[in-house]
Structure 1
């Protein structure tokens, strides 16, 4: 999971929800990216896994639709979706200081790629991992 830190003048990436009511901008300063196969991420996304990138919460700015955000959880740990279309945008984690941004919500390509699969011990039995990334039964 160790990756070089991006330069201080990292470019800004745009992203948002399916219906376009929520838009955000985030610095391309992601510190890690993973594919999570835990049952909570699968249920939250409705997918086999959640591809996400971790970044400090201060690096993300909602540029449109702040009032359209729907939060599930508490201040220190929650998921954020668009209230109108239900698109999953990000999770607030690590005592509210970090985000796990759903990579699928980005309109621009980030400079980081997932480096491993985590929680494969509880992955969907109908999904086969076919890439060469490392697989971890849990999150070490």
Structure 2
């Protein structure tokens, strides 16, 4: 995933700083995913993600410190601190950046909640964003 980034650049990192990435501030979409897998990977009620073409994302430090989990779509974590950082999806053509790992605010904020049909029963969505039962 070491490709150039052309637009305004955002920076992200894991908790310990062993992995650092750059991503164009040009997310194609952003959403809050409530599926059980995303909840388990984050330990939170949902996973806020920004989707971007893989060529607009690159790891600039610590690529050898990444640990991958999953199959065709997989999550990348810091091997040292365990922080989830991003997922590779859609045949490797897109990256889902965990918005909480960004050091700067992205231009595009989440525009919807997805997989609310399996959201945590103890969590109440209180904003006015559209809610999808799944990802149609």
Q: How high is the TM-score relative to the length of structure 2?
A: 0.93
Equivalences for residues 58-77 of structure 1 within 5 A: 58-74=55-71, 76-77=72-73
Residue of 36, 54, 64 corresponding to 1:39:
36
Residues 113-132 of structure 1, C-alpha deviation per residue, up to 9 Å, x if partnerless? 00000110100000000011
Which position in structure 1 is the counterpart of 2:135? 139
- Runs of 5+ consecutive residues of structure 2 not aligned to the other structure: 1-5
Provide the residue aligned with 1:6 in structure 2.
Answer: none
Aligned residue-pair number: 132
Match of 2:91 in 1: 95
Give the Cα separation in 2 of the matches to 1:20 and 1:47.
21
Q: Secondary structure at the match of 1:81?
A: strand
Match 2:108 to one of 112, 115, 136: 112
- What does residue 78 of structure 1 align with? 74
**Large movers: runs of 4+ above 6 Å:** none
TM-score normalised per structure 1: 0.91
Partners of 2:132 and 2:59 in 1: CA distance? 33
How big is the alpha-carbon RMSD for the aligned residues of Structure 1 and Structure 2? Answer: 1.3
What is the CA–CA distance in structure 1 between the aligned matches of 2:50 and 2:22, rounded to whole Å?
14
| Unmatched tracts of structure 1, length 5 or more | 1-8
